[in-house]
Amino acid sequence: RVAEVAGWLRAQRFDAVLADAAYLPLASARRAGIRAIGLCSLNWRDIAADYLGGLPDMDVVLAQVAAAYGAADAFLRPQPAMPMPWLSNAVEIPPIAATGRARRAAIARQLDLAADECLVLAGFGGIVYRASLARIDGVRWLVPEAAPGRADQSSFAELDLPFLDLLASCDALVTKVGYGGFVEAAAHGVPVAYLDRPDWPETPHLAAWLRRQVPACAIDEALLASPLLADRLRALWTALPARRLPTDGAEVAAAWLTGEV
């Protein structure tokens, strides 16, 4: 497969390969003599080792995968990332995140928010939690789809604004573990309560990084419907403020890809 893809890359006359984070293109680009850059906060060698490391002959497979990643000119690790200490060409770069525009005053008028009412965005990457969200005094939920009969919930559609503008305008984000949600929240200084994913190899690294950037806490799914969720949110709002976060990782990665670094 490496030889086959290398031949195809040469035939297409490509100048460079960017892989996120497939390892076959990186090994093939090296064989074809083409510049190759890996880019990801995780890698499949470490993921496979965590889930499949005990299977027969996996050491050979993992060594092949590691060698393929090592064949790249650089493997860029946008923060937060898995450590990858075995990868000699790993390069840490700033987080990659787009940012939105805070429109809190306009949203408050449109939703008729009380002056002391908190706006909490619930976004779970396609998983919709509606009626299960707890009713909390002084909290208005901003959700993809409002549940019938819930005056404490408002849907994204009511505002017709980009998601990142909504995030930039909220007092907290309730979400699941994931690179995009964590980095975007940190970029806007928004506290985070997140559904834990302890079986994900990248979870401890993402969570530890997030806690250094903004007030954050892990919750379980049952807590979403519990009045105790109010205590977790109030703890986030009384914690230390967020740190300033650089988000120019895309520009840094582009400079590596074009040979400027």
**Residue pLDDT, tens place only, 178-232:** 999 999 999 999 999 999 999 999 999 999 999 999 999 999 999 999 999 999 9
Model confidence over 53-64: pLDDT tens digits?
A: 999 999 999 999
Which segments of the chain are extended strands (E)? 16-19, 35-39, 74-78, 90-93, 118-122, 139-143, 153-155, 172-176, 192-195, 216-219
Place of tokens 């190899």: 201
With bands split at pLDDT 50, 70 and 90, how would you rate the model's confidence at 99? very high
* 61-to-26, 44, 51, 54, 121 alpha-carbon distances in Å: 16, 11, 13, 12, 42
Q: Which three-class secondary structure state does DSSP give residue 121?
A: strand
Task: Please compute, for residue 81, the number of CA atoms within 13 A of its CA located in the half-sphere on the CB side.
Answer: 24
With bands split at pLDDT 50, 70 and 90, how would you rate the model's confidence at 126? low
Asked whether the predicted pLDDT for residue 12 surpasses 90, the reply is yes
Asked whether the predicted pLDDT for residue 125 surpasses 60, the reply is yes
- For position 193, what pLDDT does the model report? 97
Model-level pTM?
0.92
44-52 vs 58-70: helix axis angle to the nearest 10? Answer: 170
- For position 127, what pLDDT does the model report? 61
Task: Please state, in angstroms and rounded to a whole number, the distance separating the CA atoms of residues 18 and 259.
Answer: 12
Residue 90's CB is within 10 A of a number of other CB atoms, namely 20
Q: Which residues pair with 142 in a beta bridge?
A: 121, 154
